[in-house]
């Protein structure tokens, strides 16, 4: 998707560089030291404008959160939101993570959030989906014992694919629904911008919580 130009983008990004981690591959194993207090560490891949991440960070002040977003104009909005809310337990990787092992030591993360990831609908692009088994196994390595992956999507085909990939590699689905907001599951309480918009339109949100069997 073509990025919309943002006025004074470079200057605004530079003013908020304290929220950006540009050397993530050099500090694996020490992420918690970047925060005022150590705590469970959570990653959102494709954090967009940061509303979901900010809400989690506010609700869980003893945990630390990292948002990954490769589009500079979008991560700028996320950093501006964190700054406006004066949130201290959230940082951002302004890039796309392709290999988890390049950024995180085994067991360093407590959870991974995947929200409305690109479905890559063509079969030949299946390996690019963030719930392809190659990615899922990468998350597993970075997660601690008892760690989880939470996945939300409005795309039924991608949801089916995700469940099939989890089954193929022996991951347990502890929670699953094809209409999250008609359940009492805790995951319905914190929403992304997409999720809020789709909910108002009456579009069902698929959700699952994945345990990696560590």
Q: Please identify every residue annotated as catalytic.
A: 118
- The answer to whether position 20 is within a domain reads yes
- The answer to whether position 2 is within a domain reads no
**DSSP tag of 122:** S
What is the percent of the chain with per-residue pLDDT over 90, rounded to a whole number? 90
Residue 109's H or E segment, with its range, is strand 109-115
Domain of 19 in residue numbering reads as 9-211
- The answer to whether position 119 is within a domain reads yes
- The answer to whether position 93 is within a domain reads yes
- The answer to whether position 3 is within a domain reads no
**Cα gap 150→208, rounded to integer Å:** 6
- pLDDT exceeds cutoff 50 at 105: yes
The tens digit of pLDDT for each residue in 9-20 reads 899 999 999 999
CATH code for position 176: 3.40.50.150
Q: Is the distance from CB of 105 to CB of 129 less than 8 angstroms?
A: no
- The answer to whether position 104 is within a domain reads yes
Give the contacts of 195 (CB within 8 A, at least 6 positions apart): 115, 116, 152, 205
pTM of the model: 0.94
- The answer to whether position 182 is within a domain reads yes
- The answer to whether position 80 is within a domain reads yes
Domain tally for the chain?
1
What is the structure's pLDDT at 93? Answer: 96
């Amino acid at each position: 998707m073509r990025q919309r130009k943002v006025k004074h983008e470079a200057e605004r990004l530079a003013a908020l560089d304290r929220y950006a981690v540009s050397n993530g591959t050099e500090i694996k194993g020490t992420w918690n030291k970047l925060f005022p207090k150590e705590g469970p560490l959570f990653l959102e891949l494709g954090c967009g404008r940061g509303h979901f991440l900010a809400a989690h960070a506010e609700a869980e002040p003893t945990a630390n959160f990292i948002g990954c977003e490769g589009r500079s104009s979008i991560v700028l909005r996320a950093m501006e939101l964190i700054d406006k809310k004066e949130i201290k337990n959230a940082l951002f990787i302004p890039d796309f993570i392709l290999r988890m092992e390049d950024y995180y030591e085994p067991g360093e993360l407590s959870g991974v959030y995947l929200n409305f990831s690109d479905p890559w609908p063509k079969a030949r692009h299946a390996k690019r989906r963030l719930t392809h088994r190659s990615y899922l196994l990468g998350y597993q390595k970075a997660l601690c014992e008892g760690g989880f992956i939470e996945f939300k999507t409005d795309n039924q085909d991608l949801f089916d694919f995700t469940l099939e990939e989890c089954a193929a590699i022996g991951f347990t689905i502890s929670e699953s629904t094809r209409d999250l907001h008609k359940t009492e599951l805790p995951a319905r309480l914190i929403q992304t911008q997409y999720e809020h918009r789709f909910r108002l339109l009456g579009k069902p949100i698929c959700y699952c919580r994945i345990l990696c069997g560590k």
